[in-house]
């Protein structure tokens, strides 16, 4: 049959939507797309594992603010990608996942890489999941998926294209490629809500702004800075919004825990909090120990109305786009004279780098093995201002989060609600593809690095000079330390690792390799790694005895209670469990 096949229709629609990069791992089910992409100049970045392709699409969206795309083959290609889909789902990241499938005509025939319902598998972890059953429907259904991924609360969508549908041919003249995929205008707040919010923020003694991914994906950075400067209100951010206000800006409060630190440090608790596109869950504090003060008046702005009031009552809920809301608030704020809040601003600045006092001895020590805080601080000192940092690993990411200086949106990539390890190398991969002019550094624990280690090969094949630093403490750090705290140091189970030379393994793929054991060698090794112009692996041996503050916070700092003498029964008390509120 003459005409155009489904792969060509797919690629033409992607190009119409402005998508020029796709992450993938080859599968014959997808060859019609690959051939069309080759002719159209679409960049195909092929990874060594489908999970990495999915994480890379997620990372692309976090860096660029646009929808990331991953295509994987049927059966195990999709099941390998499920973790990445779930990660994007829980973090509300706009992503399109496309999978091949066995021919429709072979239903119930037990074909290769078929025999189970792929659609049912991903439906609970996507905003929308659909199977294409006719070739001519590929363009409009693909456009529908891209629209849903970006509309309202962002998130992953899934499109399944069976191989006989994808390779099928239709008359090109009878198929329309959609031109308008994403709406031009976003929902704005009501004038009454804007006036109420401005009145409360103006009257507050210690107002604060909390920014989340909703502000990032709304491209609200410039409007956020302008509003903060006009009103003098400090801005705090969760991990997906670091850099919306540059780290060296006087109104940058950095991470959300600093909002609580400011109160504990004598600066007073925030009394009015404007929440911009941040969900009220773990990263804004458990309801039992909230980071947003209980007594604070909360104004919550979210494009997704069902998020407003989740986990705590709010005094004002605004269902609107964050950028449109900031523009309306900015216009209203320009009509008022704002009070001097220099004392509150100074209190916030005073706690931004308090961690340096806590770990001053670690910074000054030349003792080996290296303190993990010293490692993170050395990295922060050496990386250029426009570096994109991908941090992966329970304790490793938290050490880096303490010291990282992020100056623009999409330049800090780390863990979210899934707590998924193995994202670091794929996130770094996506960052370098998206921003080739920017240095990219991945800091990863020696546990996490094993999950997608073969992506060093991807770095080499695609000539991506990413510097990866392995925090090698010879254990699954948060897990090992959690067991130490809960059960005692002689009760570790399946949490120890070997002192592996990850640098030599990466060198086997063609990477520049460095091995560091002494603190004085850290800086020179990082300098050589960046100067090499090649993918690099810096394997740093760190102190396995140091427990990160985040582990003490999530697991508990107390050792197991001693058993009463004489065989007396222990006093009843709460049952301690890692990562969650105690039982009983």
* Cβ contact 214:322 at 8 Å: yes
Burial of residue 64 (CB within 10 Å: 0-12, 13-18, 19+) is: middle
* Cβ contact 329:197 at 8 Å: yes
How many C-beta atoms surround the C-beta of residue 218 within 10 A?
Answer: 24
Write down the catalytic residue from 7, 29, 59, 75: 29
> Which residues lie across from 424 on neighbouring strands?
none
* Cβ contact 428:440 at 8 Å: yes
Long-range contacts, stretch 310-316, CB < 8 angstroms, 24+ apart: 310/279, 310/280, 310/281, 311/280, 311/281, 311/287, 312/280, 312/287, 314/275, 315/200, 316/193, 316/196, 316/197, 316/200
Which of 566, 565, 571 minimizes the C-alpha distance to 584? Answer: 571
How many C-beta atoms surround the C-beta of residue 117 within 10 A?
Answer: 11
Per-residue b/e over 448-476, b at no fewer than 16 CB within 10 Å?
bbbbbbebbbbbbebebbbbbbbbbbbbb
Write down the catalytic residue from 6, 7, 49, 50: 50
In angstroms, what CA-CA distances link 460 with 230, 508, 511, 514, 535? Answer: 47, 11, 7, 16, 6
How many C-beta atoms surround the C-beta of residue 309 within 10 A?
Answer: 14
Write down the catalytic residue from 419, 488, 508, 533: 419
Residue 3 DSSP SS3? coil
Count helices and strands in the chain by DSSP H and E runs:
23, 22
* Tokens read off for 309: 């009031």
Which of 373, 353, 379, 363 minimizes the C-alpha distance to 545? Answer: 373
* Residue 329 half-sphere exposure toward CB, CA atoms < 13 A: 32
**Is 205 designated active site?**
no
**Is 350 designated active site?**
no
**Is 584 designated active site?**
no
> Helix/strand/coil (H, E, C) string of 381-439?
HHCCCCCEEEEECHHHHHHHHHHCCCCCCCCEECCCCCCCCCCHHHHHHHHHHHCCCCC
Tell me if the bond preceding 369 is cis, omega within 30° of 0: yes
Residue 107 DSSP SS3? coil
* Tokens read off for 295: 């007594």
**Is 113 designated active site?**
yes
Write down the catalytic residue from 7, 27, 100, 113: 113
Active site residues: 29, 50, 113, 419
């Amino acid at each position: 049959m003459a005409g155009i096949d489904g792969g060509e229709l797919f690629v033409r629609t992607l190009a119409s939507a402005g998508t020029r990069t796709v992450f993938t791992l080859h599968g014959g089910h997808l060859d019609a797309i690959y051939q069309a992409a080759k002719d159209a100049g679409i960049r195909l970045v092929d990874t060594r594992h489908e999970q990495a392709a999915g994480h890379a699409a997620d990372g692309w969206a976090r860096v660029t603010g646009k929808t990331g795309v991953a295509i994987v083959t049927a059966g195990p290609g999709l099941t390998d990608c499920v973790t990445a889909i779930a990660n994007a789902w829980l973090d509300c990241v706009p992503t399109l996942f496309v999978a091949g499938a066995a021919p429709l005509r072979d239903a119930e025939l037990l074909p290769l890489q078929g025999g189970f319902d792929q659609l049912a598998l991903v439906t609970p972890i996507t905003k929308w999941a659909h199977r294409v059953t006719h070739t001519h429907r590929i363009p409009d259904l693909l456009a529908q998926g891209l629209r849903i991924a970006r509309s309202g609360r962002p998130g992953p969508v899934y499109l399944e294209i069976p191989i006989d549908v994808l390779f099928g041919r239709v008359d090109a003249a009878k198929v329309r490629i959609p031109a308008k995929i994403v709406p031009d205008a976003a929902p704005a707040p009501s004038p009454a809500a804007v006036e109420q919010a401005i009145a409360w923020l103006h009257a507050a003694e210690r107002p604060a702004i909390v920014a989340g991914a909703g502000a990032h994906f709304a491209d609200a950075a410039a409007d956020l800075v302008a509003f903060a400067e006009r009103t003098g209100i400090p801005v705090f951010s969760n991990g997906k919004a670091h850099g919306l206000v540059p780290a060296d800006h006087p109104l940058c409060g950095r991470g959300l825990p600093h909002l609580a630190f400011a109160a504990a440090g004598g600066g007073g608790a925030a009394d009015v909090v404007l929440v911009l596109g941040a969900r009220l869950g773990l990263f804004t504090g458990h309801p039992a120990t909230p980071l947003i003060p209980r007594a604070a008046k909360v104004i919550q702005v979210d494009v997704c109305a069902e998020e407003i009031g989740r986990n705590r009552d709010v005094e004002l809920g605004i269902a609107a786009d964050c950028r449109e809301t900031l523009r309306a608030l900015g216009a209203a704020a320009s009509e008022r004279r704002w009070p001097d809040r220099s004392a509150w601003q100074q209190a916030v600045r005073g706690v931004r780098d308090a961690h340096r006092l806590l770990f001053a001895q670690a910074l000054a020590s030349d003792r080996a093995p290296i303190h993990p805080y010293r490692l993170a601080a050395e990295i922060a000192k050496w990386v250029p201002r426009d570096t994109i940092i991908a941090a992966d690993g329970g304790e490793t990411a938290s050490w880096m989060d303490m010291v990282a200086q992020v100056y623009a949106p999409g330049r800090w990539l780390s863990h979210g609600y899934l707590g998924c390890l193995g994202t670091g190398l794929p996130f770094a991969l996506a960052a370098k593809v998206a921003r080739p002019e920017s240095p990219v550094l991945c800091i990863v624990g020696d546990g996490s690095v094993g999950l997608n280690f073969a992506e060093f090969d991807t770095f080499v094949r695609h000539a991506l000079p990413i510097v990866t630093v392995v925090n090698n403490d010879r254990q699954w750090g948060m897990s090992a330390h959690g067991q130490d705290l809960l059960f005692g140091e002689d009760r570790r189970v399946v949490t120890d690792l070997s002192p592996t030379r990850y640098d030599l393994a990466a060198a086997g793929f063609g990477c520049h390799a460095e091995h560091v054991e002494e603190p004085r060698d850290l800086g020179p090794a990082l300098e050589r790694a960046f100067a090499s112009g090649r993918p690099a692996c810096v394997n740093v041996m760190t102190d396995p005895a140091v427990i990160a503050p985040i582990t003490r916070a999530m697991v508990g700092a107390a050792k197991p209670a001693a058993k009463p003498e004489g065989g007396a029964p222990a006093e009843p008390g709460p049952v301690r469990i890692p990562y969650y509120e105690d039982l009983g």
